[in-house]
Amino acid sequence: MTATAPRPITSGLDPRFALSLYAHVGEQGSWTLESYRARGGYQAARRALSMDPDRIIDEVKASGLRGRGGAGFATGLKWSFMPLKDGRQHYLLCNADESEPGSFKDRYLMSEDPHQLIEGMLIAGYAMRATVGYIYIRGEYILAAERLEGAISEARAAGILGSKVLGSDFDFQLQVHRGAGAYICGEETALMNSLEGLRANPRLKPPFPAAAGLYGLPTTINNVETLCAVTHILRYGASWHAQMGSGKSLGSKLYQISGPVHRPGVYELPMGTTFAELIEDWAGGPTEPIKAIIPGGSSCPMLPYQQDILDLPMDYEAVAAKGSMLGTGGVILIPQNYCIVNATWNLVRFYAHESCGKCTPCREGIAGWMVHVYEKLVRGQGRPEDVDLILDMSDNIAGKSFCALADACLGPVQSSIALFREEYDHLASTGQPLYPRQSRWLGGGAR
Amino acid sequence: MRYFDDKPELVAAILAKYPPQGRRSSLMPLLREVQTALHYVPAEQIEEIAEIVGVTATEVRAVMSFYSTYSTVPQGKYHLQVCATLSCALAGSDELWDDLCETLGISPGEVTPDGLFSVQKVECLGSCGTAPLVQVGELGYHERLSRQDLHALLDALRRGEYPGPHSPLPVFVHSGQQEDAAGARHGAELKPLGENL
Ligand SMILES: Cc1cc2nc3c(=O)[nH]c(=O)nc-3n(C[C@H](O)[C@H](O)[C@H](O)COP(=O)(O)O)c2cc1C
Ligand code: SF4
Ligand code: FES
């Protein structure tokens, strides 16, 4: 950057910040082709189809876009791993399995503005010479799947999908494949197995999907939000995208916030916006005292609810520097008077239920022992040594499982003990939680 | 009774979504068809699907058992799923669950005598911003559900009327601008390529 380069945009309150991903969410009929075209839809695809595919990859690299599925891997770099035109079928997969607790952003991208995803997939497919795409959407997303199917039919009828896309020489077939309730299907190789009609156990890597993915052929998989961002990068330019954000985390991001705040929801903000801005200025602040914050979906270690954390920019490196992760950007607030062992047990139970059973540390460690010890604790039947037992088990599981699911479970486990050991010890030694259960069904849900 | 014999177009449309070497990919869509229509997948349909896809019935069962959606025993006409994961628990989903089970007098795995209802606790449904919620089978989500809302829903279903999903959007966007908690709107206008910033 030169000395005269403008200051990057790192706040949703910055007058230069413009919504892109969610700009039309909630508008009547925003999911139709007519509405999408009226706001310039598919012009970015037209532009892309007139470019050399490698230049599109360069543009995505220049934009600084990183995968929004949780890991934050550089999208342009990932695309460049696909083999050049080698005569084989290449596949593009969209990961729409969104099942990480605390995450609910992709759902509305698909139900409210599905054409931006279709356009992003067209562009990505063309750039990577993939002529077939599948959107793997979790089975429970009924409305989103219907709207996607509807949008795909409209696009086919209008010559936007199928053979000779928009009058070019490029063919692109796009299909929706619906899941059936299994969190592990979000892991990219498990997703491919599921799509092939198998049990969704993860595959050994290498080979990586770009070498041997779906049906053993070159495949790239991206999250819904990532592919939607591609549309806007091609529409508004790589430099527009790179102007937003902090450090190596650029662009606009969908942050989600749930738990006891006045306005839980999804907010589109530039990367690098602080937790404080999200929680206070956008979500209206907590409705009760908070003790912990899960920064980016349930796998991300909890952080204490205190000023230095609230002042952190929500970017990948800044959150990692505090020992956690930005993940999917799904923020969950845990109230002061909610038993932390109970909250953690809830998540351990989740991971235990979702363990695919392929490897021993996760099947026996998480789905067997870990959840068992937690259940004992929350029932008031724990022993004082159980807390150290949990830590000991965690050490034995960490880094030893086949995929990232088991380590994901350890995120909340280890962080909650580090932060709130006294709550664990109290429950383990007295059988009584420091914070007994209270009614939380707000006369119900009246917010 | 065979299910797919009189639906050749449906089967052909499903198979056509996948390449010839990926015939097996049709397994999940076919299972879903049956599960939605019959509220479970009977043994006969497992055989039928195995035949269509070209695998053994045991393999179909192995796949089915991996996923939480497919059931080998009949479920109620309305299969009510309650998310029990953290954000929903923070919004009282355990009380909702207890109320639901007590009201209907059933536990997971059972069906009410009139065949209308069955219940299941499920994991995060991607509705954490509008917790707590109940998913009614294949019909839709009912989010930010109060006790009154729950009972109104059950009453409607008992009368055989599905009121339609209730999925309020947890967003504050109005024509390209986002409203902050104080009510002010933010968001510049996007200009075409090259003219921004
Ligand atoms: C257990 C597990 C679950 C995951 N679930 C999802 C998911 O639901 N959606 C998603 O986009 N990525 C999920 N991921 C990440 C994907 O494996 C993959 O990194 C991502 O889809 C890549 O897309 P991106 O580069 O655009 O982020 C999951 C990973 C693991 C280990
Ligand atoms: S870590 Fe768990 S989910 Fe991952 S492969 Fe092992 S058993 Fe399966
Ligand atoms: S925790 Fe219930 S929908 Fe996410």
Round to whole Å and give the CA distance between B27 and B53: 7
Considering the segment(s) B78-158 as one domain, its CATH architecture is 3-Layer(aba) Sandwich (3.40)
In this prediction, residue B195 carries a pLDDT of: 55
Ligand 2 close to Cβ of residue A357 (< 6 A) = yes
Ligand 3 close to Cβ of residue A259 (< 6 A) = no
CATH of A14-243, picked from 3.30.70.1150, 3.40.50.11540, 3.40.47.10, 3.30.450.20, is 3.40.50.11540
Average of pLDDT values for A82-108? 96
* Tens digit of pLDDT at every position of chain B (197 positions): 899 999 999 999 999 999 999 999 999 999 999 999 999 999 999 999 999 999 999 999 999 999 999 999 999 999 999 999 999 999 999 999 999 999 999 999 999 999 999 999 999 999 999 999 999 999 999 999 999 999 999 999 999 999 999 999 999 999 899 999 999 999 999 887 755 54
Supply the residue whose CA is at minimum distance from atom 25 of ligand 1: A67
Helical segments of chain B, H only: 8-15, 27-38, 43-53, 57-66, 86-89, 93-104, 147-158
Round to whole Å and give the CA distance between A35 and A30: 6
Percent of chain A whose pLDDT exceeds 90: 97
Percent of chain A whose pLDDT exceeds 70: 98
CATH of A250-335, picked from 1.10.15.40, 3.90.76.10, 3.30.1220.10, 3.10.20.600, is 3.10.20.600
Mean pLDDT, chain A, integer: 96
C-beta of residue B132 within 8 angstroms of C-beta of residue A443: no
Give contacts of A140 with chain B, Cβ < 8 Å.
122, 125-126, 135
Contact B128 A104 (CB under 8 A): yes
Contact B22 A196 (CB under 8 A): yes
For the domain made up of B8-66, give the CATH fold: Arc Repressor Mutant, subunit A (1.10.10)
In this prediction, residue B123 carries a pLDDT of: 97
Number of Cβ atoms within 10 Å of the Cβ of A368:
15
**Per-domain residue ranges of chain A:** 14-243, 250-335, 340-442
Dihedral sign from CA coordinates of A182, A186, A187, A191: positive
Amino acid at residue number A425: D
* pLDDT tens track for A166-209: 999 999 999 999 999 999 999 999 999 999 999 999 999 999 99
pLDDT of residue A442 exceeding 80? no
**Sheet arrangement for strand B78-83:** B117-122, B78-83, B133-136, B140-143
Q: What is the nearest CA distance from B162 to chain A, expressed in angstroms?
A: 15
Average of pLDDT values for A58-79? 98
pLDDT band at A379 (very low <50, low <70, confident <90, very high): very high
Ligand 3 close to Cβ of residue B131 (< 6 A) = yes
Phi/psi at A22 (5° precision): -110, 15
Query: A366: which DSSP letter?
Result: I
ipTM of the complex: 0.97
Q: Please state which of the ranges A1-5, A139-143, A385-389, B83-87 shows the lowest mean pLDDT.
A: A1-5
| Tokens of residue B160, six digits | 């055989």
**Per-domain residue ranges of chain B:** 8-66, 78-158, 167-197
Size of interface A-B (CB pairs under 8 A): 267
Contact A237 B196 (CB under 8 A): yes
pLDDT of residue A445 exceeding 60? no
Average of pLDDT values for A347-376? 98
Contact A280 B24 (CB under 8 A): no
Dihedral sign from CA coordinates of A374, A377, A381, A383: positive
pLDDT of residue A447 exceeding 90? no
C-beta of residue A152 within 8 angstroms of C-beta of residue A174: yes
Prior bond of A207 cis (ω within 30°): yes
Strands (E), A227-313: 245-246, 249-250, 252-258, 265-270, 290-294, 303-304
Q: How far apart are the CA of B125 and the centre of ligand 3, in A? A: 5
Round to whole Å and give the CA distance between A435 and A66: 40
Collapsing DSSP states into helix, strand and coil, what is residue A273? Answer: coil
Q: Which ligand is nearest to the CA of A202?
A: 2
Q: Give B135's strand partners.
A: B81, B141
The CATH number of the structural domain formed by A340-442 is: 1.20.1440.230
pTM above 0.90, yes or no: yes
* pLDDT tens track for A204-239: 999 999 999 999 999 999 999 999 999 999 999 999
